[in-house]
Each structure stands twice: as C-alpha cells, then as structure tokens.
A = this chain, B = another copy of it.
C-alpha cells in the first residue's frame, strides 16, 4: 500500500512525487481496463460520468448476444437480474447483506418510491438539506406538497456538510423522514452516517441516504450504520454508462411494512399469474415497478464486479490520497489566484472529489475543457469539481490537471471565454 505518505502532508508537491505514488499504487493496473485512450486529455469528471471500461463493453455485448440468441426465453433469467445485480452491488459497494438492494429505474424514481413509502408509514415532517442535489430537493418538495408535510431544510455549512446535532434539532417535534446525501455533490463532504442515522431514529424518523456520490468512492456500510433506506446511481464510480439504472436499498426489517406508491407488475406477488388485484411480493422486490432495463443491468453488474475486485478499502484509501494531493496543489498553486477550497480538509471527511471555488468558475471551467484538455465540471454558482475516481486516476493526472489549471489562471486565458451558460458541461 503506497498512499500513506500522501495522506500525511509532504514537504513539497512535485510531479516526481506524484510519479512515485503511482509506481507504488496497488490499483494502478485498473487504469488499462478503461478505454481512456492515449491522448493528452485528463478526465477528472468520473464523479459525474465514469468512463467506459472494456469489461463493461464486453458485458453489454454479451447481454446483446443473449437477447439475440435467447429472445423472449431470456426472461426466465433476466427477471431476477435487478435483485441479483443488486446483491452484487450491495456486497461490492454498499455494505449491505443480500436481499435488500435492487437495481432498476432512475435515482429520482427510486427516491420517489422510497420517500413516498416512508411518508405513508410515518407521521411528521421531512428533514432534508438545502445544499443537497436538486432532484432530491425537488422530489421531496413534491411529496411534501402532496402529503401536506412540513419540509424542513437544513442550512448546513456547505463545505462541512450536515452535522448530527443539526439533524437532531431539525427532527424536534416529530419527523417522519430524514433524507441526506452521504457525500455532498458539490463539496464532497462525507456525512457521519451512523451518528446522523441514530439522531433520526431517536426522533422516530426513517433515514434515507442518497449514495450517488458515495457508492464506489467511500466505504459505505449501510447495515452497520442502521440505515433504513438508500438510493444511488451507477454511472459515476460504478462506471455503468450514461443514464444507467439506479439502485435502491430497503433494510430487511422494514420491507414488509412499506409499500411503493407505484404499484407495478414487476412488484406483484406471483407476477405471471397476472391476477386481478395488486398484492406486493414479500421483500425488496416490492419496490420494483415496470420492466427492468436488461441490457443496462449487465453493465452495472460488470461495473460492480470491477469494484469488488479492487476492494473498497483500497479504493477508499486511494481516494483519500488523491484528494489530499489535490488539496495540497490547491493551496500551493491556486489559493493566490482567488480560489478557495470547497471541500473538507480532513481526508476521511470527504469523498473522491474536490471542489474548487472561484468567482469566475464557469469561464475557468470552459478554458480547462476547450484549451487545456482537462475535463472537470462546473456546479452553480461557483464550483469547479475535480472527480478523482481511484480506479483509473493517476497521481500524475492530478498533478497535471492542477498544473494546467494554474497555467490558465496565471495567464488569464479564461478571461477570453464566453460567459454564456448554454452548455450542460
């Protein structure tokens, strides 16, 4: 294990030092398994969309062959895929025992299903975070309006993320549901999942974790944290492709008590009897809805398998080391140019991305993409995110990306960029 010297601050941040870290990296071999090409491009946006892995492409092709060869009879196995892939993903990335996780639908739809079910089962307010990802806030706004619940938005410190005491205070006087992200989408702050879950439980609330920026980046342990519910996507650190299906988790002991608001045929007991009356199947399968995306499930399975092979402990340690290098480079190269760090400084309090705040972040981000072949992303109003996914990001990539970024702000090259925000990325 070669990351220890990085997590503890070193005296001088040089490219040679980054090279040394790469040479000792036990995960270094994984990079060749991604189709990242040999170009000058530096991809530091795996926290938004992971790149294509050869294994994932092969899995998609194999599943397409299965469709070709088996046609409709393939459904005899495919019908189990959301649960089978869910269990594999749970073991690889979520710290969840089998029978609690399925993969299907989008994060948004899964959040709607689980939050809706929780509100049917518990009285009281909804507690969420004003700094959380938009779709979480919007889904909860809609459910709050529909169910007449109070939606209490934490105004957390954007860099530090939500604290247990804040959640405890917000839950006072009856709370039904707490929804928070384990890793904040902008700052990368890692929430104290166990303590916050306990605070929610103390108030009688169910606690739902959004793991989009956590799954595959940090050591999530849903079962140990006592989490009730979770959702998350697979197109970031699980590298399963743009719009690949999301997962959902429902704690075993809670499954029989909850019902999805969407009563679909894939959640029906004895589905192919096609009987007259809806009766949800026992277990987490009751949170399925319609026909699952069979081809895409093969990609998620392959993405989860790579993560299982790498091992979450190593992934997590490398993430801490990569982001520590990024923090050091921010301090050394960028702080003098109007940047501030939008990410916790303590390595184990953050995920695998860092956020660099600057009043001209949009134009700097454009210059990085268009002039410097560095691909990060911009998040309103003032953040450039560098996602440092451990499976394929090298320490020299971090060094080079910051070097190019420093070059842009040193030269003022970004000032020539268009300020109009017409593009998604």
Contact = CB atoms under 8 A, between A and B. Distances in A.
Interface string A350-371: 0000000000000000000100
Given A71-B49, A72-B48, A369-B73, A262 B134 contact: no
Interface stretch (A14-22, A105-113, A218-226, A403-411): A105-113
Interface stretch (A89-97, A267-275, A310-318, A324-332): A267-275
A42 to B, nearest CB: 11
Contact of A424 (B75, B138, B142, B424): B75
Contacts of A139: 262-264
Interface residues of A, number: 78
B264 A108 contact: yes
B292 A243 contact: yes
A242 B75 contact: yes
Copies of this protein chain in the complex:
2
Interface string A276-305: 111000000000011111111101000000
Contacts of A74: 49, 242
Nearest to A79: B424
B369 A290 contact: no
Interface stretch (A25-33, A166-174, A250-258, A372-380): A372-380
Contacts of A393: none
Contacts of A72: 45, 48-49, 375, 377, 425
Interface string A56-80: 0100100010011001111110110
A265 interface: yes
A244 interface: yes
Interface in A127-147: 130, 133-135, 137-139, 141-142, 146
B68 A49 contact: no
Which of A105, A262, A375, A423 gathers most chain B CB within 10 Å?
Answer: A262
A278 B263 CA distance: 25
Interface of A: 35, 43, 45, 48-49, 51-52, 57, 60, 64, 67-68, 71-76, 78-79, 105-109, 112, 130, 133-135, 137-139, 141-142, 146, 233, 235, 241-246, 261-266, 268, 271-278, 289-297, 299, 369, 375, 377, 379-380, 421, 423-425
22 contacts: A60-B60, A60-B64, A72-B425, A76-B425, A78-B242, A105-B105, A109-B289, A112-B261, A112-B262, A112-B289, A134-B265, A135-B265, A135-B290, A138-B268, A141-B263, A141-B277, A243-B292, A243-B296, A244-B295, A246-B290, A274-B379, A295-B296
Given A109-B264, A139-B263, 15 more contacts: A43-B71, A45-B72, A52-B68, A76-B423, A108-B264, A108-B266, A108-B289, A109-B290, A130-B276, A141-B277, A242-B291, A243-B294, A243-B296, A246-B290, A272-B424
